[in-house]
Structure 1
Amino acid sequence: MRAIQLTAPGTLELVEVPTPTPGPGEVLLAMAAVGACHSDLHILDAPAGVFPTPMTLGHEIAGRVAQLGPGVSGWSDGEAVAVYGILGCGRCRACLRGRENQCRTVPVGGIGLSRDGGLADHVVVPADRLLPLGGLDPVQAAPLTDAGLTPYHAISLSRDALRPGTCCVVIGIGGLGHMAVQILAATTATTIIAVDTSDAALRLAKRMGAHHTVQAGPAAVEQIRELTGPAPDGAEVVLDFVCVDATLATARQVVSTGGQLTLVGLGGGTLPMTPTAEGPPPVPLETGAVIPFWGTRAELAEVIALARQGLLRAEVQTFPLSETVQAYQQLRDGQIHGRAVLVP
């Protein structure tokens, strides 16, 4: 079968490998769609030894059941499924409470992260990672497993604060940000303020349910403040899907006293938090910061339910498996609006 593999740091190749056989407790899936995530670029750029090689990438997976391994039941041949990609230890306190994204034993374990992923004609996954799609288009379903789940989990961490009359600022309307806008619109009554450098991204945010859009830049803080009110008021929650220095500076200047900064992006910026004796604190008093990671299986089921109800839809650009390298280059160059999806 064909597979897109990380063969060395920075090297992605289309190779021929044997079709895997499912072991006990596993299922072989025929791939239907795989989302291309920006975090895959970080895997590509990582130094030797951080991720195994060769390894098939792809952790946003939707497929059809092709073969059940020994001891597996409850799934029918050809059934369409989504894959929950996290692989926790299953034994620590977090995993036992269903919070495998907080596993205390396996820091970052997952399909397409620590074992072969879905950018191939077939993939083997543990049977307990599967969730039924119930008629949902696999091309739509694949991005839900991360680009939908991660913002859903991030919003869930602050859901009690997102009450009528509050404001939520969403910075970065890309693969995750455009889903966050929809999730906020579908599950809260907060006022949604979308921020991006791209006019096309801001138009997308407006279509997805944002009440206001703001062009990122020197005037962004003032424009957001006109919508949220002056300090100590402000945005109850700021979701930063970029997290470079510039976006973090905007985030800390528009969050309210007692608000929450939710840092999702992998931009590598710095957010000063520690108060000093000289001058005002770098963030408002009583402000919290959280770094979400993916989400839980229960939350993924809820994300799929939102999509099946027509309340959540990914903006996708599809590519054949043979054009995976080009798709990732477009992603790196900022040319993907929404989510790139590979269709084997």
Structure 2
Amino acid sequence: MKAIQYTAFGTRPKVVDVERPSPGPGEVLLRVTASGLCHSDEFVMAMPEEGYPYPMPMTLGHEPAGIVAELGSGASGVAVGDAVIVYGCWGCGVCAMCADGTENLCLTGMLSPGLGVDGAMAEFMVVDSVRHLVPIGDLDPVRAASLTDAALTPYQAIKSVLPRLVGGTTTVVIGAGGLGHVAIQLLRQLTPTRVVALDLGQEKLDFAKENGAHEALTSEPAAAATIKEMTRGRGADVVLDFVGADATGELAVSCGGVASAVVVVGAGLGGAKIGLTSAPYNMSVSTSLWGRRKELLELVEMAKRDQISIRTTTYPITDGEKAYEDMHAGRIVGRAVVVP
């Protein structure tokens, strides 16, 4: 079968031929119907060889949609032919975090398809347990695949600050790309907050407004002063950084006001730095990693009701290398999805 793999350090992903996998006891084989690309793949491929934690080569792809093709011995709860998406946080299932349903914070170490085991950029993939499957019914798999990360990740981040987002508040979204454009939609659906998006280039700014941003500004230091003017000197109540670079972390702190919250979501190898005299008083800074399976079920229902919609550009698996090049070059608006 065809697969898109990271095959050697310092190289780009390649379309290769590999053996079709078979499910072991308790596992499920999926025929992949759609697989979203994510900048986390770029993060993995930028890791140095020393200390690299994953197998090599590795099939990429941690935003899967598929059809149940085969059940391993002892697997139950789904049937061959069921349409599903895959919850990508594969915890141990027994630690305190997993017992609470927070497998994304598994205390013994989380694995994910495409981030530790072979993922969904292939014609077939193996899922370790039926508990990581979420039925989608007749929802379009291309529309549903990226719910697993591009929607789930901002959803958890927003829920962590939801009590703050009352009437009259302002929320800044830094980065209106794959995750950020969904965050804007979620903020508009879930809260009365005013949403200000920051990004680079008029196309991205227009895209942010198409998805519900009240205002869209160029992501530069001067944006903080504009946001202070909008809020009569107070600053934003919440800032969501979907880039995670040092520059955006500094901008996030500058945009926030007294007692505000900054949530760093992007894996840009940087972040927000604060101190008592270098940031607004009582500002809280946190990170947010992925989300819970229960939250993914909630997002599926929202998608079925047309309350959120992920902008996608599709590629056949034979064009997988081009898909990654387009993402790397910043040519994707929204999310790229490979359709085997």
Shorter-chain TM-score bucket reads: over 0.9
> Cα offset for 1:190?
0.8
1:101–1:293: 8 Å Cα contact kept in structure 2?
Answer: yes
> Cα offset for 1:218?
4.2
Amino acid at match of 1:150: T
- Kindly indicate whether residue 284 of structure 2 is the aligned counterpart of residue 295 of structure 1: no
- Runs of at least 5 residues in structure 2 that lack an aligned partner in the other structure: none
Q: Residues of 1 paired with 2:124 and 2:270: CA distance?
A: 37
Q: Paired residue for 1:92, among 78, 95, 100?
A: 95
> Cα offset for 1:50?
2.8
- Kindly indicate whether residue 159 of structure 2 is the aligned counterpart of residue 163 of structure 1: no
Q: Residues of 2 paired with 1:227 and 1:78: CA distance?
A: 52
1:252–1:282: 8 Å Cα contact kept in structure 2?
Answer: no
2:227–2:255: 8 Å Cα contact kept in structure 1?
Answer: yes
Q: Residues of 1 paired with 2:27 and 2:221: CA distance?
A: 52
Q: Residues of 2 paired with 1:17 and 1:243: CA distance?
A: 35
> 1:139-288 maps to which residues of 2 (within 5 A)?
139-230=142-233, 233-275=234-276, 281-288=277-284
> 1:102-117 maps to which residues of 2 (within 5 A)?
102-106=105-109, 108-117=110-119
Q: Residues of 1 paired with 2:33 and 2:290: CA distance?
A: 22
Q: Residues of 1 paired with 2:273 and 2:117: CA distance?
A: 36
Q: Residues of 1 paired with 2:268 and 2:231: CA distance?
A: 26
Q: Residues of 2 paired with 1:18 and 1:334: CA distance?
A: 32
2:253–2:274: 8 Å Cα contact kept in structure 1?
Answer: no
Q: Residues of 2 paired with 1:83 and 1:268: CA distance?
A: 27
In structure 2, the CA distance between the partners of 1:270 and 1:72, relative to structure 1 (3 Å rule), is closer
- Runs of at least 5 residues in structure 1 that lack an aligned partner in the other structure: 276-280
Amino acid at match of 1:330: D
Which SS does the other structure have where 1:319 is aligned? strand
> Cα offset for 1:142?
0.8
2:53–2:116: 8 Å Cα contact kept in structure 1?
Answer: no
Stretches of 4+ aligned residues off by more than 4 angstroms: none
Q: Residues of 1 paired with 2:103 and 2:251: CA distance?
A: 32
Amino acid at match of 2:17: E
- Kindly indicate whether residue 119 of structure 2 is the aligned counterpart of residue 123 of structure 1: no
> Cα offset for 1:305?
1.2
Amino acid at match of 1:45: A
User: In the alignment, what sits opposite 1:15?
Assistant: 16
Q: Residues of 2 paired with 1:130 and 1:69: CA distance?
A: 14
1:214–1:224: 8 Å Cα contact kept in structure 2?
Answer: no
1:169–1:195: 8 Å Cα contact kept in structure 2?
Answer: yes
Q: What's the CA shift string for 1:217-272, capped at 9, x where partnerless?
A: 24311211122221xx2211100111223322221112121111000112223532
User: CA-atom RMSD, angstroms?
Assistant: 1.3
User: In the alignment, what sits opposite 1:40?
Assistant: 41
Amino acid at match of 2:2: R
- Kindly indicate whether residue 48 of structure 2 is the aligned counterpart of residue 52 of structure 1: no
Q: Residues of 1 paired with 2:40 and 2:163: CA distance?
A: 29
Which SS does the other structure have where 2:209 is aligned? helix
User: In the alignment, what sits opposite 1:137?
Assistant: 140
- Length-normalised TM-score, structure 2: 0.96
User: In the alignment, what sits opposite 1:76?
Assistant: 79
Amino acid at match of 1:38: H
2:37–2:324: 8 Å Cα contact kept in structure 1?
Answer: yes
Q: Paired residue for 1:321, among 307, 317, 335?
A: 317
Q: Residues of 1 paired with 2:68 and 2:303: CA distance?
A: 21
1:10–1:46: 8 Å Cα contact kept in structure 2?
Answer: no
Q: Residues of 1 paired with 2:210 and 2:309: CA distance?
A: 11
Amino acid at match of 2:273: P
